[in-house]
Structure 1
Amino acid sequence: MKFSKLICLPFLLIIIIFACGKKEITLLKEKELIVTPKLCYLKSADHGHGVIYSYSYDAKNQLSQIDGFPDFNFISYENGMPKKATNSFDKSYYIGFDYDTKGALSQISFVGKDSRGKAFEFKSKVYTNTKKQIETIDLLLPVFDEIVVTKMEYDSKGNTKKISLIEGGKSKTLLENLTFDDKKSPYLNTPFANVMAYFVIFSATIGAENTTYFSNKNNATSTKIYSDNGDILYSYKYEYNNEGYAIKTKVTRKAEGKEQNYDETYVYDCK
């Protein structure tokens, strides 16, 4: 009998310790750990075909410098909005951005001198919706002979769904992003929607590339560009970092019966 008591006592202690430990574990589980997601700012982007951009930001995390883009390499701000894009290699040329009283983009101006030294100024009128998204641009560029009227449509998440050309009152689709993922675009924290709008439209107009990534919130997974030489189909497969931003893209481009594959890579500063 004495022997059995000696056995039972340690066994009882083990049960009590185990019960207390289990309670502590439960309490730890109930106390959730709040994790604040990091904001990732794009430092460099390799879009394939030798198109490589590098980005720098000011103290307010506003994009201030871009290397690798031919039109400009510096952006200045006014009241937190991009006001002027300049090229340090050609200070006679700049792109200006004007806004209405509500802070929506209302005009894009291209100011400079042509090859003969003659001054020019091309103004493009911009029409926006209640979300300050560009709906229509009467685009006038130095390389265009006349105004090109284009319309932009968006999905419920703010991604560019379609770009259309308006001619003679009729709409002609230039580019259509067919599907998107639910992850973060590399340019999500880079205010490029207004600054690069003209370039996105220009790229779609000449049927070259899909550059809507400059303004999208998520990442396009399939795209169709309508070209006079035949439609161009793009498909994209992504890899993401821990914060949900795309870090690598495998691109497949199908045009004129041929398939081309290449990679895009993105590097960030997450903080």
Structure 2
Amino acid sequence: MSARTAPPRVLTIAGSDSGGGAGIQADLKTMLALGTHGMSVLTAITAQNSVGVQGVWDLPSEAVVAQFRAVVDDIGVDAVKTGMLSSPALVETVAGLLRPLAEAGVPIVVDPVAVSKHGDALLAPEAVETVRTRLIPLATVLTPNLDEAAALTGQKYAEEADLRPAAEAVHALGPAWVLVKGGHLPGDAVDLLYDGHTEHRFRAPRLDNRHTHGTGCTLASAIAAGLASGQDPVAAVGAAKTYVTEALARGFALGAGIGPVDHAWPLRP
């Protein structure tokens, strides 16, 4: 009996969420649900649950490099997603590792994680400039929400009409595509994808469900899974939006606070 062909390989470089709703845990669940093989490079350990983040411990750069080399040199990757990189040193380390992959044409999805769902800071202020200048120019798709776009550009964005100006300002930082997420705005959940010339809007009805922990990580990982599977950025974002909308609709209570989305919904009867 011959071995079957391996599924597309997606690497997540991010922090751990001990509650299982976001971070590395959400990434790997998403990648599995979408038919890819997920691999991980852990950048930080967090103690968190449904009510907040109680502690964050960064891993040393040499641990990040060792994990990355172990995976990439042996298994290889078809796409990469980055998440929580809380310090300038970690951003510098990851950017240096990803540059050869970007130059070789491997798609890279950058989720510029700044705060948790509960408002806890996950990116040191001094690391923002390093993300802006070292990591973002490597991105195939960058996925900031409006608050993150404001932190990256120094501008203020507060309504749906601001999606295009935000996308233009962030795109000027160097990503191939930027997806500005408008999920925190009132009304429909509208995201805008922009490549410097053309915009694509993805609209979904707002769902009456407070259990939304992990949506940003999940969306970025779903985009990476689509790119690894051969989809172009527009198709990958569209499929990811559909996946996340359905996962949000099925978000469930867990603990005393905000529960997670249901990453496994495509696998259920």
TM-score (norm 1): 0.39
Greater Rg by CA: 1
Q: Whose helix fraction is larger, Structure 1's or Structure 2's?
A: 2
Q: Whose strand fraction is larger, Structure 1's or Structure 2's?
A: 1
TM-score (norm 2): 0.39
